[in-house]
Amino acid sequence: MDRKKIEKAVRMILEAVGADLERKDIASTPKRVAQMYEEILSGQHKDPTKELEVILEQRHDEVILLRDIPLYSVCEHHLLPFVGRAHVAYIPDKRITGLSKLARVVDVLSKRLQVQERLTTQIASSIMKKLKPKGVIVVIEAEHLCMSMRGVKKPGAVTVTSVVRGIFRKNQKTRQEALSLIFKK
C-alpha cells in the first residue's frame, strides 16, 4: 500500500472541502487516514484459503456453525464502512478446520474494498476450495453507512445476503436446519 499517495489524496480532499490544513487538529489527519487504510484494507492481497488449516481428517457429517462473527468492511462505491455479522456453516467431508480459521477467512476478505454480495460469495468459495466440504452456507447481515448517512438516509436498515453451496443448495431440509440454527435467538 502506498501511504504517501494516500496522504497526498487525503490532503487534496481536505483542501477541496475547505478544511484548514494548518489547524493543529487536522494537520496529522492525512497520515492517520493512511495508517487507517493500511489496517482496514490489509486483506487486499491476501489469500483467504491460507487461513483454513485442515486440523482433522475424519468422518463427520453434521453441521458445524460459527454464528455472529463480527465484521467491518469498506464499501467500494462510497468508501464508507458497512458493519455486521457473518454466519458460516459447513458439513465436512473428511476435512475439518479450527473454528477460529473460519473467522479469519471472514476477516481477510472483509479487509478489502468490498460489496456485501461478493464478500458472501468469496467466503463460501474459499471454504469450498480448501476444505471441499459436502456443503457450505454463508449469511451476512450488515448495516451500510452509505445508506444510513447519505442518499436514502435509513439508519438501522440491514442488508442480508446468503450463499448456499453443495448439500445446502440441493437439500432443502439441510438448508432449513442450518438457517434455523443461524437465526435461533
- Sort 76 into a burial class: Cβ within 10 Å, 0-12 / 13-18 / 19+: exposed
Q: Catalytic one among 15, 76, 117, 176? A: 76
**Does the CA dihedral 54-56-61-63 come out positive or negative?**
negative
Quick check: is 75 catalytic? yes
Residue 60 bears catalytic tag: no
Catalytic: 146? yes
Catalytic residue among 75, 87, 141, 177: 75
Catalytic-role residue among 39, 53, 57, 77: 77
Residue with cell 445508506: 147
- Provide the grid cell at 89: 456453516
Q: Of 38, 60, 143, 146, which one is the catalytic site residue? A: 146
Place of cell 502506498: 2
- Cβ-count burial of 28 within 10 angstroms (0-12 exposed, 13-18 middle, 19+ buried)? exposed
Q: Establish whether 78 is a catalytic residue.
A: yes
Catalytic residue among 35, 38, 78, 143: 78
E strand intervals along 23-63: 54-58
Instruction: Kindly name the residue from 51, 114, 116, 122 that is annotated as catalytic.
Output: 116
**Residue 144 host element (H or E):** strand 135-144
Instruction: Check if 77 is active-site.
Output: yes
Mapped onto helix, strand or coil, the DSSP state of residue 138 is strand
Give me the phi and psi of 49, to 5 degrees please. Answer: -70, -20
Q: Is 176 a catalytic residue?
A: no
Interatomic CA distance for residues 172 and 178, integer angstroms: 10
Catalytic entry in 51, 114, 122, 144:
144
22 included as an active-site residue? no
Residues tagged active-site: 75-78, 116, 144, 146
